[in-house]
Structure 1
C-alpha cells in the first residue's frame, strides 16, 4: 500500500492501519480519500466498502455512534465589546460552489408484516371471523346489485356502486424486472409504440450498470394523476429529437422509467427529493468528488420543450464526459496491465511446466538407465555365481565318476562317442551305468581325462542343466539324460554316439 506524501499514517493504531490496508486493497482508493470515509464508518471496513460502492451518503447509525463516542466540544469564546461589534458588522460568507448531490442506490423494500401475539390472536379470533363473513356478504350483495337498474336500486346505495380506482396502496408489488416490464407495457398502451429503450431491470441494477460501464443514467418519473404527464410524454419525451438523443450510442445513456404508483419508483422519488412531476434526473459518476461516487448532475422538473430538454441534458453530458473518458482510459490501462501480467504469468507457468516436464523426462531416462545397469549387473553376478556352482558341480561329479572297466570284463558297454570338439572317444562303461552317467562323463571329460578330480562338496540348491544332447547315428535316436533304464537297455552292448549342442529357439 503506497502512502500519500501529505498523509501521515504513523499516527494510526495497528488496527486502523490494518483496516486502511484492507479497504485500499478492495477499493484501490488513495489514502487521503480512504481515511475520511473510514473515520465516518468508525473504521469498519465492511461499512466503508458499502459506502464506497453505494455512495457515501449519511449514515444515521454511524453518526449517532460517533456523537455518543466523541461528543462535540463547545469552544469557549472570549471577546470584548469591540470584537462583538466587529463580528456582527462583518459580511456573511458566501456559500461554496454547489457540489453534485449524491445518488444513493435504492432497493425496494418489502413491507414488514408483524405477527400478532398468539394470546391476542386467540382473543380477537371471533371478531376476525365475523368481519370476514360480513365483508364477504356485503361484497356479494353489492356485486349482484350492480346489475340492477339504477331506478330499482335501494336508496341506501345512492346513484350506484362506483368501482374503486387503483392507487399506490392497491397496486400489486412485483419484482424490479417485472415492475419495469409493466411500466413499459403501460407506457406503450397509453402513448403508443415508441423507440425508447427503457432499461429492463430495477433502478439498483441500472445504477450499477451505469457505474460499471461509465455511462449516464437518465431517470424519468411520471405520475398518471398529474396534468402535465400526458403532454410531457407525447410532446417532449416521445419527440424525435429527444428519442434520437437518448438512443445515440455516442451519448452512452441508460434510460430508466418509473411510475410513482409503484413502490420502487415512489422510493426513488422520496430519496431524490422529487417535488414536481414529471421529473427527470441525469446521474453519472463524478471522479472529482470521489473515485466511485454516483451523483445527480442534472435535475429537470415539470414540462419543457424538447429543445430545452435536450440542451440541458447535453450540457450536463459535455461537462462530465471528459472526466468519464479519463476514468475509462485509466481503467483500460489497468486492464491492459492486468492482461499483460496475466499473459506473463501464463508464459511463466508454461515455461515452468516445460522445465518440469524436461526434468521429469530426464529423471525417467536416468532411472531407466540405472535400472538397466542394475539389472545387467545383477544378471552378470547371477551368471558368475551360476558358473561357480557349475564348476563346483563338475568337480564333484567328476569325483563321483566310476572308473573304466577292464578290457577282460565281458559285462560292459563299449561306446564310440564323437565329442562336440570333433574328437572321437572310445570308452567302456559298466552295464549297470545309466544315461545320466554317460552325460556326466561327457560334461566332465576334460577333468576325467586329465585325472585332476578333486573331492568337492555337492553345491546346495543347484540343479545342473546339460547344454547338449547325445544321439545315435544309425538309426538316429535322441537319448534323454534323465530317462529310465541302463545303457545296455538303451544303447546295447556297443554303439556309435554323437554329442550335439542344444540350440535355443528364437523368434528369428
Structure 2
C-alpha cells in the first residue's frame, strides 16, 4: 500500500509507529497497522513483543481510566485532543536524513573500540562526570531501534536499566544511594549502591545540599517496578506521585535529564513532601503504555497524580476518592525560567498551586486512615484480650482436670503399691516359713547326726577336755564339754540343736539328711552351697567370745583346739543373724505402708 493513498488518520498512526521504532520500514509498519485495524497500541505490542497479528481486527483493549484535573495548570498545557490518539511526533528532518545514517556508520566502525568506550564510561561514572555527547555520537552506546525483546522485558528490570542509564548519562546518583556511598567513602571504604526504590526519607537536611556546592549531582529515588504497581502504591500510601516519561529520540531529552532531574530545588521539594517518583523511556513497553494512559503527546513529559474526590452531584453520597492526574507538563526544559518542564517552572507549580490544593485532602485521608488503623488496632487488642481471657479460663479448667486426674492416679498408684507390698509380704512370709521348716528339718538331723557326746573322764583320744559355756539370745545358758580334737562343726551343731523346740523330742529326729542330702560334714557343706548362703546366713547365728569379744567363725574341718579363743575353754555368746530376704521383705512392707511413690527403701 502506498503512503500517499493513506487517510490523514492512517498517516498519523504510521508517524507514531515510525517515531516509536526509530524509523523503520514504512511498508512493514503499514502491514502491521492494517492487520490491527490501524490501532497504534496493538501495533506497538506486536512489534515489541514479537506477537503474531490477529486474523481479524479486534477492538482495542480497555485502558485504565483516570480523572484529569487540569484546572490549576496556569496555561502550562495546550488544548487536549479528544480520544486516545497521539499527536504526531515529528522528528527533525536533519536528524532523520543526515544524522541517523551517520550514526549507523559510526556504530559499525566503532565496534573494535567498544572495550575502550566501556572503560571511559566506567571512569566517567566512577568520577561522577556526565558522559559527553559529541554531536550525533555518544559514549553511552545503544543499539539501533528497539532492542530485541525490549517490549517483553520485565517492568522492574526495565526500570532498573533505565535508572542505571540515567545515572551514566547525567553522572548523578539516586538520593537513596548517595548518603551510604558518602559515609562509606568517608570511612575509607567503598560500598556498592543498593537498589533504588520509593523514598522513605522524612523532612530534614538532605544529601542534595551537597550538590549546590558542586560536590555531587543527585537524582530522585525512582520507584523500581511497573507503572501499575507505582499507581497502586501511590493510592495505598496516600502520596503524590511524580511520573517522568522521556524519549531518547527527542532533542530536549539530554538537557531535561541533566538540568531538571538533577536540580537541587526540585529534589528538595520531592523529598520534603515525600513524593513517589517513577520514570521510563517510551521505547519500553511499560513506559509507552503509561504515556497512552496519561495522554502524553510531547516529550519530555512530567505528570503528577494523587487521590482526589470524584466530581459528583452534591445530592448523592460522596463516593470513594479516585486516582487523578493533577497536572501534566510536556515539552522542552529551556529556557529554565519559563519552559514547561524546567525545574523552576515545576517547583513553582508544586509550591504555589498543586501542593496547597492537594495536600489538605491527602492529610484528611491520612487522618481517616490513621483513625481506621487505630480502631482496627483497638478491636484487635480487644479480640486479643478476649482470646487471652478465654485461654486462661481454658488453662485453669485444664489444670484443675489435670490435678484431679493426677490425684486419682496417685491414689491408684498407692493402692497398687499397697497390693504389691502385701503380695510381697505374703510371698516373703511363705518363703520364710518354707525355709524355717526346711531349716528345722536340718536342725533335727544335725541334733542326731552331728552333735557329739561329751568326752568321758580319762578319754585321751579326743584330746584335752574343754569346758564351753553357751549363752543363747533368749537368755538361756548351757555348759558343754568338748575335746580338743572335736570339730568346730560339733560346737555349732550343739548350739543349732538348742533352737529346736522342746516339744520336738530327739527320739523322733530323722536318721538321714533332709531332701536326700549326704551325711556328715560334707553333706552340710553341700547343703550350704545348694541353698546359696554363706555359713553365717545358713546357721542363722554367729558365735563370739564374751570378753574380750572375739568372733568365732565356722570353717569346715577346723578343730576346736585350733581356735585360739577356745584353747582353754571359755564363755561364748550366741548372736542371732536374720536372713537377708526376710529383712528386705519386712522393710518393703513398712515402706509401702508409709510411701506412695512406688520406690522400695533398703533397710539393711
Q: TM-score, normalised by structure 2?
A: 0.44
Q: What residue number does 2:472 align with?
A: 419
Pick the aligned partner of 1:397 from 435, 442, 465: 442
- Return 426-435 or 306-315, whichever deviates more: 426-435
CA contact (8 A) 2:305 2:327 kept: yes
- C-alpha distance 243-142 of structure 1, shift in aligned 2 (>3 A): closer
Q: What residue number does 1:193 align with?
A: 217
- C-alpha distance 423-317 of structure 1, shift in aligned 2 (>3 A): same
DSSP 3-state at the match of 2:557? coil
Q: What residue number does 2:552 align with?
A: 479
Give me the whole-angstrom Cα distance separating, in 2, the residues matched to 1:363 and 1:334: 43
Give me the whole-angstrom Cα distance separating, in 2, the residues matched to 1:383 and 1:419: 26
CA contact (8 A) 1:473 1:496 kept: yes
Q: CA deviation at 1:477?
A: 5.8
Q: What residue number does 2:349 align with?
A: 308
Q: What residue number does 1:143 align with?
A: 109
CA contact (8 A) 2:447 2:497 kept: no
Pick the aligned partner of 1:169 from 122, 139, 146: 146
Q: Deviations over 1:176-224 (max 9, x none)?
A: 4632531551564389824633335554654564455444433222334
Q: What residue number does 1:18 align with?
A: none
Give me the whole-angstrom Cα distance separating, in 2, the residues matched to 1:100 and 1:428: 136
Give me the whole-angstrom Cα distance separating, in 1, the residues matched to 2:576 and 2:308: 100
- C-alpha distance 242-144 of structure 1, shift in aligned 2 (>3 A): closer
Q: Is 1:497 matched with 2:539?
A: no
Q: How does 1:116-131 map to 2 (within 5 A)?
A: none
DSSP 3-state at the match of 1:447? coil
- C-alpha distance 387-455 of structure 1, shift in aligned 2 (>3 A): farther
Give me the whole-angstrom Cα distance separating, in 1, the residues matched to 2:445 and 2:289: 118
Q: How does 1:249-398 map to 2 (within 5 A)?
A: 251-277=273-299, 278-284=301-307, 295-302=323-330, 303=340, 305-306=345-346, 307-310=348-351, 311-312=353-354, 314-338=356-380, 341=383, 359=402, 363=406, 366=410, 370=414, 377=422, 380-381=425-426, 383-398=428-443
DSSP 3-state at the match of 1:402? helix
Q: What residue number does 1:220 align with?
A: 244
Q: CA deviation at 1:423?
A: 3.9
Q: CA deviation at 1:438?
A: 4.5
Q: What residue number does 1:152 align with?
A: none
Query: Gaps (5+ residues) in structure 1?
Result: 1-63, 65-97, 102-137, 148-160
- Aligned residue pairs total 359
- C-alpha distance 450-507 of structure 1, shift in aligned 2 (>3 A): closer
Q: What residue number does 1:470 align with?
A: 543
CA contact (8 A) 1:298 1:313 kept: no
DSSP 3-state at the match of 2:217? coil
Give me the whole-angstrom Cα distance separating, in 2, the residues matched to 1:227 and 1:257: 18
Q: CA deviation at 1:298?
A: 3.0
CA contact (8 A) 1:276 1:301 kept: no
Give me the whole-angstrom Cα distance separating, in 2, the residues matched to 1:208 and 1:444: 111
Give me the whole-angstrom Cα distance separating, in 2, the residues matched to 1:231 and 1:445: 132
DSSP 3-state at the match of 1:322? helix
Q: What residue number does 1:247 align with?
A: 271
CA contact (8 A) 1:220 1:281 kept: no
Give me the whole-angstrom Cα distance separating, in 1, the residues matched to 2:236 and 2:491: 102
Give me the whole-angstrom Cα distance separating, in 1, the residues matched to 2:532 and 2:445: 16
Give me the whole-angstrom Cα distance separating, in 2, the residues matched to 1:328 and 1:451: 107
Give me the whole-angstrom Cα distance separating, in 2, the residues matched to 1:141 and 1:228: 22
- C-alpha distance 462-362 of structure 1, shift in aligned 2 (>3 A): farther
CA contact (8 A) 1:183 1:257 kept: no
- C-alpha distance 484-289 of structure 1, shift in aligned 2 (>3 A): farther
Q: Deviations over 1:261-311 (max 9, x none)?
A: 4444234324554334313141559999999x9834535242263333442
Give me the whole-angstrom Cα distance separating, in 1, the residues matched to 2:328 and 2:453: 143
Q: CA deviation at 1:492?
A: 7.0
Q: CA deviation at 1:254?
A: 1.6
Give me the whole-angstrom Cα distance separating, in 2, the residues matched to 1:145 and 1:340: 70
DSSP 3-state at the match of 1:182? helix
Q: CA deviation at 1:478?
A: 3.6
- C-alpha distance 426-363 of structure 1, shift in aligned 2 (>3 A): same
Q: TM-score, normalised by structure 1?
A: 0.50
DSSP 3-state at the match of 1:426? strand
Q: CA deviation at 1:502?
A: 6.2
CA RMSD of aligned residues (A): 5.8
Query: Gaps (5+ residues) in structure 2?
Result: 1-57, 59-64, 69-103, 114-135, 174-215, 311-316, 331-339, 516-526, 581-601
CA contact (8 A) 1:417 1:499 kept: yes
DSSP 3-state at the match of 1:366? helix
- C-alpha distance 187-353 of structure 1, shift in aligned 2 (>3 A): farther
CA contact (8 A) 2:223 2:277 kept: yes
- C-alpha distance 356-210 of structure 1, shift in aligned 2 (>3 A): farther
